Amino acid sequence: MDTIAAVATPLGTGGIGVVRLSGPEAAAVADRVVRLAGGKTVAGMKGYTCAYGRAGDADGEIDEAVVTLFRAPRSFTGEEVVEIAVHGGVYLVNRLLRACVAAGARPALAGEFTRRAFLNGKLDLTQAEAVADLISAEGRQAARAALSARDGALYRRAEAAADALTGYAAHLAAWIDYPEEEIAEVDPAKLGGGLRRCEGDLAGLLGTYDTGRIIREGISAAIVGRPNVGKSTLMNLLAGHARSIVTDIAGTTRDIVSDTIRLGEIVLHLSDTAGIRGTDDPVERAGVDLAVGELARAQLVLAVFDGSDALDENDLRVIRCCKDAVCIALVNKNDLPQRLDMEVIRENFAHIVTLSAKSAEGADALKKKIEELFLLERFDPSAAVVANERQRAAVADALAEVREAADALEAGVSYDAVCVCIERAVDALLTLTGRRATQEVVDQVFSRFCVGK
Ligand SMILES: Nc1nc2c(c(=O)[nH]1)N(C=O)[C@@H](CNc1ccc(C(=O)N[C@@H](CCC(=O)O)C(=O)O)cc1)CN2
Ligand SMILES: Nc1nc2c(ncn2[C@@H]2O[C@H](COP(=O)(O)OP(=O)(O)OP(=O)(O)O)[C@@H](O)[C@H]2O)c(=O)[nH]1
Ligand SMILES: [Mg+2]
C-alpha cells in the first residue's frame, strides 16, 4: 500500500485545517513537509504524541503547524497515520496538501482512509457505514445510533447469528458426510429450536430498520384540510416563524409550502397545502390537486378540522382522502366555542388531538402523538439497528433462508437441503459484515464517502 494524503477538515475557513496521511511513508512524507522545533523528526516521535513545527514547500514557509503521529497498527486505518494541522484557511490547507503530494504522498480517493481501516481489519462494513452515518447524523438519536453501530452493535449481532448457524451447518454436514464416525446424532427438535430462535432474532433486527430510517431521515408530513381551518397557522406554529401566509380568506394557500422542523427527537418534513374544496378558480384548483397528491405521498397526514364550525362536504372529502393514510386528526381552534361533530371524527380517525394553532395550546400533545405513532419512545439507540438498504437486504436474505431451513426441517426434508439453506443464511450475514463480501459490495459501501474520510 502506498501513502495517501487528503484534507480531513471541511474546505473553508476555520480554526485549524488538517491534512491526514496514512501509509508506510506517512512519517517520512511529513518530515519532508514540516520542520519540527528543536531538531526533532516525525519519524522519531512516539505514537499518540504531537509536536510543534513549521510547514513549508519549495516556495518557502506555508504556516506554523502541529503534527500528530499514530504508529501502526494503533491508528484509525491500522497504518502509520500523521495529521498535520495548520491554520484553517482554504489556501493554506490546499498548499499543505500539494506539499505532501510533492513529498511523495498520493491524493486519497473518496473513502480511502476508511476503506483501508476495513481492509486492515480495524472495522467491518457495518462499522464503516456507521462512520458515514455519524458524519451525516442530524440529531441526538441518529448520532447515538450511529455511534453504537461504530462500536460494533450490529456487527456483534450478525457475528453471533453467523456463528450459531455455522455451528448447525457444520454439525449437519459432518453427520451427512461421515455417518460411520462417532458424531453426535442430529436432534431435530433441538436444531429446530435453535433455528427458530435465530429466526426471531433476525426478524427483530429487521424490525429496527423502519424506526432507524425515521430517526435518520425524518418523516414527511402533509398538513391538509378544507380552507380556513388553520393549516398555515399550524405550519407557522410548528416552524417557529411566519413561513406561510395566514389570512381569514378561504383559499389563501395555493402552492405547497415546505419546511423541515424538529419536534423533540423527530425531524418532520412538513408541507402546508391549499385548502381542499371544489372550486372553479383554475389557480386554486391546481393548488387543490397538489394538496391531494401531497396527502397521498406523505408518511404522515395531519388532517386539520375547525372545531368551532360544523363539518361540511369539503371536510368529508378530506376524510375520504385520508382513508389509506397514517393520519392524525387535528381539531383546531379549541380556544373558540366548539361546534364540530366529534362523533364523525372519532369514527374516521384512530388518532385525534385537539389544539389551538393560534395559541399553541395542545402542541405538546401533538408531539407526543407523533412520537407514539412512530414508536420513537421505544427506540433504544444503543441497540443494533439496521441502518441502510444494503444491510436490510442482507438481513432479510438471512432471515428468509433461516425460516426456510426451519420449515424444511419440520417438514422432514433431507438434512442436505436444510444445510444448504443454513449456509446461504451464513453467506448473507458475512456479506453484511463484509467478511465475505464481493468487491462490488465493498465499492458500493465506500462510494458514499467523501474525500478525506
Ligand atoms: N484527530 C483525529 N480525531 C479523530 C479521528 C482522526 O482520525 N483523527 N477519527 C477518525 O475517524 C475519529 C476517531 N477514530 C479513531 C479510531 C481509532 C483510532 C486509533 O488510534 N485506534 C487504535 C488505538 C485504540 C486504543 O488505544 O484503544 C487502534 O485501533 O489500535 C484513532 C481514531 C474521530 N476523531
Ligand atoms: N381562534 C382561532 N383562530 C385560528 C386558529 N388557527 C387559525 N385561526 C384563524 O383562522 C384563519 C385561517 O387560518 P389559516 O392558517 O390561514 O388557514 P388555512 O387552513 O391555511 O387556510 P387556506 O390556506 O385558505 O386553506 C385565520 O384568520 C387564523 O388566524 C385557532 O387555533 N384559533
Ligand atoms: Mg393556508
**pLDDT tens column, 362-412:** 999 999 999 888 867 677 878 999 999 999 999 999 999 999 999 999 999
Ligand 2 contacts CB of residue 226 (under 6 A): no
Residue 228 annotated as binding?
yes
How far, in Å, is the centroid of ligand 3 from the Cα of 325?
A: 21
Is the beta carbon of 232 within 6 A of some atom in ligand 2? yes
* pLDDT for the residue 71: 98
Listed range (93-97, 330-334, 447-451) with the worst mean pLDDT: 447-451
User: Could you identify the atom of ligand 1 that is nearest to the CA of residue 74?
Assistant: 30
The pLDDT assigned to 210 comes to 86
Q: How many Å lie between the centroid of ligand 3 and the Cα of residue 236?
A: 10
Question: DSSP for 287-327?
Answer: HHHHHHHHHHH-SEEEEEEETTS---HHHHHHHHHTTTS-E
Indicate if ligand 2 lies below 6 Å from the C-beta of 256. Answer: no
Ligand 1 site, CB within 6 A: 70, 73-76, 83, 122
Mean per-residue pLDDT of the chain: 95
Instruction: Please tell me whether 57 is known to bind a ligand.
Output: no
> Which of 226, 228, 331 is the pocket-test mutation for ligand 2 (most atoms within 8 Å of CB)?
228
pLDDT value at position 177? Answer: 86
pTM for the structure as a whole = 0.81
What's the gap in Å between 265 CA and the centre of ligand 2?
27
- Residues 277-335 have pLDDT tens digits of 999 999 999 999 999 999 999 999 999 999 999 999 999 999 999 999 999 999 999 99
Pocket probe for ligand 1: among 76, 83, 120, 131, the residue whose CB has the most ligand atoms within 8 Å is: 76
Centroid of ligand 1 to alpha carbon of 17 (angstroms) = 17
Strand partners for 64? 54
If you write DSSP's letter for every residue of 60-72 in order, what string do you get?
A: EEEEEEEEEEE-T
The ipTM assigned to this model is 0.74
Pairing of strands 300-306, 327-332: parallel
Residues with CB under 5 A from ligand 3 (ion): 231-232, 252-253
Tell me which residue has its CA closest to atom 10 in ligand 1. Answer: 76
Query: 211 a known binding residue?
Result: no
Confidence band (pLDDT; 50, 70, 90) for 265? confident
Predicted pLDDT at 101 = 98
Q: Say how many Å lie between the CA of residue 220 and the centre of ligand 2.
A: 22
Sign (positive/negative) of CA torsion 262, 263, 265, 270?
negative
Residue 117: what are its φ and ψ, rounded to 5°? -60, -40
User: Phi, psi at residue 49, to the nearest 5°?
Assistant: -130, 165
| Radius of gyration from C-alpha coordinates of the chain | 29
Q: Ligand 2 pocket, 418 CB below 6 A?
A: no
Is the omega angle on the peptide bond into residue 381 within 30 degrees of 0, that is, cis? no
Identify the residue whose C-alpha is closest to ligand 1 atom 19.
Answer: 75
Q: Which ligand is nearest to the CA of 130?
A: 1
Mention every residue, 6+ apart, whose C-beta is less than 8 A from residue 292: 276, 321
Tell which one of 229, 231, 233 to mutate to probe ligand 2, the residue whose CB is within 8 A of the most ligand atoms. Answer: 233
